[in-house]
Chains A and B, each alone.
Chain A
């Protein structure tokens, strides 16, 4: 449940960088995503056509504060997004460095506190830092979105052990792996680890065939989630035969 909403798909898809508006439309549909992310930018010639795609998709919108470097800027962006998109959901990004795109944890908590008090449902883009996660929960966040790897890097879960600790530390908070996912196998891995959803953009948009890749990610997220619920076997250091020895014939070796 994400702020009381049960989602039919655990894949959240970004809408940037697609080769054409039609490919974006088809990719959203093929992915099965129930949530798509959007930014807030200056109104230009293409605004109307893009808004039509959003409406036609039938998806819930998750506006972001991408590009904001201060709490104040992010809060203003969130206020504007809420009014124009009619949703209290906000993907809170407060970027600490233009090259690494790493979140600024101090400004992030400050902005989260203000927005939660204003009644927003905040989805903070954060790191796997446990104390930062706790501060965000204290601020009122009921979802956390740790990065898998730097935005757009396609490296997957670069600190798998740290993310596993985060999952264990916040058993009751929905956790979404946001950013850094490059391949469906990585999305499946996140779901197998018990994360509640995966948010990605570049891996689909920059594929040679974005629509097919969107489908592949949808399937991977579904497979990973089903596998997690089914209970994965424990890893072993040594081999163990799966075929029984009982009933084996005595033959010349």
Chain B
């Protein structure tokens, strides 16, 4: 199915947020996730289902002032 990952459309076979993190090779402990603009804690990722059109954000510490 087609979802939006960090602002870009991607095709994924993952049915949960946790699977998507693994599928895309993200370092799971070094990223924070949100689904449709709402924070999903790390321990809730495997219980969070993805549906077509889902907007997923995978964030990490970056440069900031």
* Chain A residues in the interface with B (C-beta under 8 A): 14-18, 24, 37-43, 46-48, 50-51, 54, 61, 63-64, 66, 76, 79-81, 83-85, 151, 201-202
* Chain B residues in the interface with A (C-beta under 8 A): 6-7, 26-27, 30-34, 37-39, 41-42, 57-65
A40:B32 contact, CB within 8 angstroms: yes
Residues of B within 8 A of A17 (CB): 63, 65
- Within 8 Å by CB of B26, from A43, A81, A85, A151, lies A43
- A-B residue pairs, 8 tightest by C-beta: A39-B64, A14-B65, A201-B65, A80-B32, A41-B62, A16-B63, A84-B32, A43-B60
- Within 8 Å by CB of A83, from B27, B38, B41, B58, lies B41
> 23 A–B contact pairs at CB < 8 A?
A15-B64, A16-B63, A17-B63, A18-B63, A38-B64, A39-B63, A40-B64, A41-B62, A42-B59, A42-B60, A43-B31, A47-B27, A47-B60, A50-B61, A61-B61, A76-B34, A76-B39, A79-B41, A80-B33, A81-B61, A83-B39, A84-B61, A151-B65
A37:B37 contact, CB within 8 angstroms: no
- Within 8 Å by CB of B63, from A38, A61, A84, A151, lies A38
A39:B62 contact, CB within 8 angstroms: yes
Residues of A within 8 A of B58 (CB): 42-43
Residue of B nearest to A15 (CB): B63
A54:B65 contact, CB within 8 angstroms: no
Distance between A70 CB and nearest chain B CB, rounded to angstroms: 11
- Within 8 Å by CB of A42, from B6, B39, B65, lies B6
Cα(A189)–Cα(B39), bound, Å:
41
B34:A54 contact, CB within 8 angstroms: no
A42:B57 contact, CB within 8 angstroms: yes
B62:A38 contact, CB within 8 angstroms: yes
Residues of B within 8 A of A61 (CB): 61
Distance between B8 CB and nearest chain A CB, rounded to angstroms: 10
Residues of A within 8 A of B33 (CB): 80
Cα(A201)–Cα(B34), bound, Å:
28
